Structure 1
């Protein structure tokens, strides 16, 4: 099956959806009312271990030195808090969320909870584990975040993130998901269509051949059944 191609040049493209900037998107009801990752714990029925296909704690416990975990779109941070109680005192756990915990609680000494947009935030260190559990569904520049997150991994680190190719579109709204998956695989990511999950092993600097142009919060429900964001791109010259 051939990869998706950008709209042909030489004639005006058909009108696409109205695209929002990052700040506009973050004020939209789809993103502001997101509850996808609020109460998910570390293990069990509604857990990171189930959604990611492996237990984050087991991965971190296998590290020879102080384990480190960055969770993007971390919601209430419940999984991080549970991990903090089981990991050594020198562990480094960081949760980043646009809203942050809705019920403020004291953080364990090993946990930093950052309230910030993942579009603008960047860490000052690398991590053994980087996760984003159903968070990309509410991010405008999904591919840009994945490229940056790859550079936040330790040389032997692991990145796990849910990804919906159907949410990636060209400027006119036509499908760009196959092109995106092809570029991600060429950059070293593995993608499981069955689980809608990306995996990357080993930190690296990379540039994907896409230029982000805006987001559509009216894209409708994705495979989770929840309203999600459409991310629109052009090919990078």
Structure 2
């Protein structure tokens, strides 16, 4: 196997597959096509159990429908932040507790810690997936939860071979849990961590992943 032409984060942001408009843009909070269904829990229930003002960061948030719906069920001091490369296409007024940021997750940094960080099917379209997971681990509160969909088949070695086994081993050693049946990655409790891989670039022409949608493959060199 040989690696295809690999894209940088900047070049990747200009690819149509990364600005995918079908995976997460219309997803609501609860119901059939919802965050609750994909994550296996209702984010609001989790947030209401958190001490202090609840804070939720949703990465690759699409139109932000889930955050808008959550705002109606959460107290007025909640902080609900959505970050998306394309951003919402509708300009309807936001609830006071919701902020939707149009930015690349490769560049954006928060100014606070969160009780809940989610990335529902968003990792499928990112370049350096492991870098975002590393950063997001540091954005969690000490009792916070990170939950994301991860396709290990999209992680490749420099020669194009699968990197799933060493990457998942490193993630588990860092404290993550991975449910292979649901393709769900979780981390309980914020922390500073490093992962022993160097990102080489990404292939936006990797083809469909387990969802049936075109996705990005990320290439890594083990560095430890």
Q: TM-score range by the shorter chain?
A: over 0.9
Which digits, 9 at most, give the CA deviation of each residue in 1:30-64, with x for residues without a partner? Answer: 11234210111111111100000111010001122
Tell me which moved more, 39-48 or 26-35: 26-35
Q: Give the structure with higher Rg (CA).
A: 1
Aligned match of 2:125: 138
Aligned residue runs from structure 1 range 99-118, under 5 A: 99-118=86-105
Q: 2:188 aligns with which of 201, 214, 218?
A: 201
Q: Distance in 1 between matches of 2:160 and 2:200?
A: 12
Question: Residues 159 and 76 from structure 1, CA distance in 2 versus in 1: closer, same or farther, beyond 3 angstroms?
Answer: same
Aligned match of 2:69: 82
Aligned match of 1:17: 4
Runs of 4+ in 1 over 2 A off after TM superposition: 32-35
Aligned residue runs from structure 1 range 221-232, under 5 A: 221-232=208-219
Aligned residues: 224
Q: Distance in 2 between matches of 1:183 and 1:83?
A: 34
Q: Distance in 1 between matches of 2:207 and 2:2?
A: 18
Q: Distance in 2 between matches of 1:185 and 1:206?
A: 12
1:33 aligns with 2:33: no
* Partners of 1:214 and 1:232 within 8 A in 2: yes
Q: 1:50 aligns with which of 34, 37, 47?
A: 37
Which digits, 9 at most, give the CA deviation of each residue in 1:91-138, with x for residues without a partner? Answer: 000000001111112111101110000011010110000000000000
1:172 aligns with 2:159: yes
Q: 1:160 aligns with which of 141, 147, 167?
A: 147
Tell me which moved more, 32-41 or 215-224: 32-41
TM-score by length of 2: 0.98
* Partners of 1:30 and 1:228 within 8 A in 2: yes
* Partners of 1:17 and 1:172 within 8 A in 2: no
Tell me which moved more, 151-160 or 99-108: 99-108
Output the aligned Cα RMSD. 0.9
TM-score by length of 1: 0.93
